[in-house]
Homo-oligomer: A and B are copies of this chain.
Amino acid sequence: MVSQDFKSMLSGKSVIRQLSEYATARGAEIGYENVYDYSLGNPSVPVPKAFTDAMIRLLTEEDPMKLHGYSQSQGIPAVRQAHAGYLNKRFGMNYTAEHLFMTTGAAGAIAHAVRAVTKPGDEVITFAPFFPEYMQYVNRTGAELVIVPADTKTFQIDMDALRDAFTEKTAAVLINTPNNPSGAMYTGETLTALAALMSEMQEKYAHEIFLISDEPYREIVFDGKIAPYPAHFYDNTLTCYSYSKSLSIPGERIGYVAVNPKAVDADIISVMCGQISRGLGHNCPPSIIQLAVSEVLGETADLSVYETNMNILYDELVSLGFEVTRPGGTFYIMPRALGGDSLEFCNKAKEYDLILVPADSFGAPGFFRMAYCIDTDKVERSLDALRRFVRDKY
């Protein structure tokens, strides 16, 4: 008999998916160029040429037996070594190949990281607003996701609310900076305070509490800043990365877990991830993709369009009277909906072919998300629709 558990999941379709499908259908009617589709977080700039060149070089020059052969369950040693070297140089860390575990994107990274440092029944704290898939990533391991309410002024961390969330069962804290959907980037002050509180709680409960840091938007940071590297602030940190956004290759499913060398059991966590893989059917990401990303470390797609789009939208939203926190990175912005009801707001917006996503499922009721990973031309053309929408309806 098919699993009733998974069968029961079929009825729910995500709001984002519904809106994206609506946008596509509407596009078939009036031309997709006339639909201001802010629904999906899909990169809108092409992969850098260096990645394509690396793939072609591997295919044409490498021994196919070696190129397409099994890699170690932790990932190809040379690939892990290259990642360690790059991260050490970039962030002043002391990783070796043993601290790296190659994964199928951030989803694969978090799936392994959570299992590595929790047991069923444990609690994993995260912060609203959060990527809704965190529910699956954590709860499907047998641990439980505990959500700390948002600080809706700055979208940094409400440390008092966090303090209240810790229990004897807290095994990990899961952060996402820069953040989907708010666009907020945690400051050094936030990470310092987070580390201090986590250290205090480790002492109080007399067991390790790991920081799982989900950083797929690390390279999309505005105003010339660099995202503070959470592992710098807290020893027991597992950094989860994906190349989906930085290289514009979300379909190729490649990322990693980097275990802070100062973490407890730092020397075995990556090996444990290899064991975890056996039960997940994961068995490391494709060899050629591992090799290709390790040849273009430090490269990114041309990410500047996201900052351009953010500035255009932020200025317009502010001038239209929206309450909105200026994003520090990502390709999202999350204003408060006018009228208070974000579902109603987003529904009305459809009349103007503005596809906006209520942020309720992200744990931010009353807000909406705009994914501005679209052409700047369309962003500019959408402003008139946004103005008319606000003028007509509010």
Instruction: Give chain A's interface residues, CB within 8 Å of chain B.
Output: 1-7, 9-10, 42-44, 46-47, 52, 55-56, 59-60, 64-65, 67-71, 103-105, 107-112, 115-119, 133, 136-137, 139-141, 171, 207-208, 248-254, 264-265, 268-269, 271-272, 275-276, 278-289
Contact = CB atoms under 8 A, between A and B. Distances in A.
A264 B2 contact: yes
24 contacts: A1-B117, A1-B171, A2-B268, A3-B116, A3-B272, A6-B116, A10-B268, A47-B68, A52-B60, A67-B251, A70-B251, A103-B281, A104-B283, A107-B281, A111-B281, A133-B278, A136-B279, A140-B278, A251-B284, A251-B287, A252-B286, A253-B286, A280-B280, A280-B281
Nearest to A46: B64
B282 A104 contact: yes
Contacts of A112: 281
Contacts of A271: 10
Given A68-B47, A110-B281, A281-B110, A117 B2 contact: yes
Contact of A288 (B68, B207, B252): B252
A117 B6 CA distance: 9
Given A137-B279, A268-B10, A253 B117 contact: no
A58 to B, nearest CB: 9
Contacts of A283: 104-105, 107-108, 253
A261 to B, nearest CB: 15
Nearest to A108: B281
A231 B367 CA distance: 50
A-B complex: 4 closest residue pairs judged by Cβ atoms = A111-B281, A140-B279, A251-B287, A108-B281
Given A59-B55, A104-B104, A68 B1 contact: no
